[in-house]
Amino acid sequence: MASTESEMGAVLQSAVVVQKNLERRNQMWAFAIVGFLALITIWSYAVDVRYVYLATYIWFGLIYGMALQYGRFCMASAFRDLFAVGVPRMTVGIIIALVLFSLVSAVVTGAGQSTFHPLPYGYQSVIGGVIFGVGMVFAGGCASGSLYKSGEGTVASWLVILSLSFSQTWFATAGGWLNYFVPASWTASAAAKNLPAQLSPTNGWYNQYMAGYIWNLPATTVAVLTHIKNQFLADFVGNALINTILPAVLILAVVYVFWYRKSHLKNIAKSGARGWRLELLGCWSMISASRRTAIAGLVIGVAAGLHMWVIEGLRHVFGVINAGELLKAMGHTSGLSIQDTVFDPGYWYITTQEAQWSGWLLRVLGFHEMRNIFYGLQNGLPNPLLNPPGWMSISIILGSSVMARLSNEFRLKLPTLETAIWALLGGALMGIGARIGIGCNIGAFFIPVANGDPSGWLFGLGLGIGAYLCVRFYNWWINRRMAKEDIF
């Protein structure tokens, strides 16, 4: 008996030692990652002070990654879990984050430090959103969600990013049979713009979509539409209140009535509250249940606002409007667009820089020569080591990894074959949806909505429709699979 007890004690003790070793190893990894980014920052600063522009993207990326992992901030989850399992937690968290970010953005815009440019307003935002919405549910995470899940060690999310990257490059550069789907009006409009022939403006679906359709659309913010003279007031009333807060309150009310109230009010009624007091307590319970996501949203909202402010400040200091000019001045001319620019949104963005990874690789391998609008005119194809937003995506993965290590949640998780196929399919659809919608769940939804651009809501509507359709498909698929397991 005594021997059994001592054996059990030894087993427990060794389990504690294993756990402690794991925690120590995780902490060391977290410090190593942050140390690596610090070294890059210091070394590049020592080489040339202008690399601080790149470092800015790195450190904001790290903050985004840490916050995303902490709040498990995923827009696929926000739309999907509502329809699939009736859980509104993430929806509520993201709506709260939008409200907070809209307030920060109004301050930044009012101070004249915003880098935001509204997106073209048109039905393509809904179509892009639907394709992206279907893709993100297949993929098991949105564009930003897949980055943070990659940092947690989910290999399926690595496949999503790979597929998202290549599908964008294919879609933005392909000609051939895709040309059959180009309306004649787009070709005529693209031709009328007299773009340099080296960009092939009248060849390729995406080239003609951009030059013959997208560039003809209006783009504005609600603040501008209000015609309020005081800039601060216009930004707060137009962008924050009308474009973000009022729709957000409406969405929260719908989510409360249709998803939360029925299942939770009975429990809250035990407190003795009745009538309006009961409903208010219900609303508060719904909001506070999303506390972790809301905290992440607060951090992201403040960081995203500061990010715009800092980048705009650096542009003033260096006298540039795009990182391409800095790269050129430092002697890095390879991969610049014909305007000497590179992709440099000046705020949180996800998909374009990831397209550039595959675009750069395929260019190095000789598959294309930037003879297109997406790379040749707009975004360039800088070396990934010199790509500021590219570094942001890398440090989002690393930031998430730091957070996951510190909470001992990091683990390399291999996908099943089925999961891998869904990941590749979902990533490809997200890539195509992002190019049509000119952004992902961040660049075409989160950032525009909070910056007074109504087209963000159009993309959001598309995300909702796409997520709903894919959830319907998965319901059918899983029912079919479960029916085979005849155990009842």
Partner 1 sequence: MAVQFKKEAEGIYLLDVKGYVCPHPQLYTKKSLEKMKSGDMLDLVFDNPSSAESIISMCEAEGNEIMEKGKDANGMRWRIKKA
Does residue 11 bind partner 1 (CB under 8 A)?
A: no
72 binds partner 1 (CB under 8 A): yes
- 77 contributes a contact to partner 1 by CB under 8 A: yes
Q: Is 66 in the site for partner 1 (CB under 8 A)?
A: no
Which of 289/362 has CB closer to partner 1?
289
Choose between 327 and 430: whose C-beta lies nearer to partner 1: 430
The yes or no reply on residue 26 touching partner 1 (CB under 8 A) is: no
263 interacts with partner 1 by CB under 8 A? yes
Residue 86 near partner 1 by CB under 8 A: yes
Shortest distance in whole angstroms from residue 414 CB to partner 1: 6
Nearest CB to partner 1, comparing residues 93 and 110: 93
Our finding on whether 89 is near partner 1 (CB under 8 A) is yes
Nearer of residues 36 and 473 to partner 1, judged by Cβ:
473
* Distance in Å, CB of 473 to partner 1, minimum: 11
Q: Is 307 in the site for partner 1 (CB under 8 A)?
A: no
Is residue 231 near partner 1 by the rule CB under 8 A? no
Query: How many residues form the binding site for partner 1 (CB under 8 A)?
Result: 44
Three-state SS across the chain?
CHHHHHHHHHHHHHHHHHHHHHHHHHHHHHHHHHHHHHHHHHHHHHHCHHHHHHHHHHHHHHHHHHHHHHHCCCHHHHHHHHHHHCCCHHHHHHHHHHHHHHHHHHHHHHCCCCCCCCCCCCCHHHHHHHHHHHHHHHHCCCHHHHHHHHHCCEHHHHHHHHHHHHHHHHHHHCCHHHHHHCCHHHHHHHHHCCCCHHHCCCCCHHHHHHHHCHHHCCCCCHHHHHCCCCHHHHHHHHHHHHHHHHHHHHHHHHHHHHHHHHHHHHHHHCCCCCHHHHHHHHHHHHHHCCHHHHHHHHHHHHHHHHHHHHHHHHHHHHCCCCHHHHHHHCCCCCCCCCCCCCCCCCCCCCHHHHHHHHHHHHHHCCCCCCCCHHHHHHHCCCCHHHCHHHHHHHHHHHHHHHHHHHCCCCCCECCCHHHHHHHHHHHHHHHHHHHHHCCCHHHHHHHHHHCCCCHHHHHHHHHHHHHHHHHHHHHHHHHHHHHHCCCC
* Of the residues 114, 124, 154, 393, which one makes contact with partner 1 according to CB under 8 A: 154
Under the rule (CB under 8 A), what is the footprint of partner 1?
72, 74, 76-77, 80-81, 84-87, 89-90, 137, 140-141, 145, 149, 152, 154, 156-157, 263-264, 289, 409, 411, 413-419, 423, 471, 474-475, 478-479, 481-482, 485, 487-488
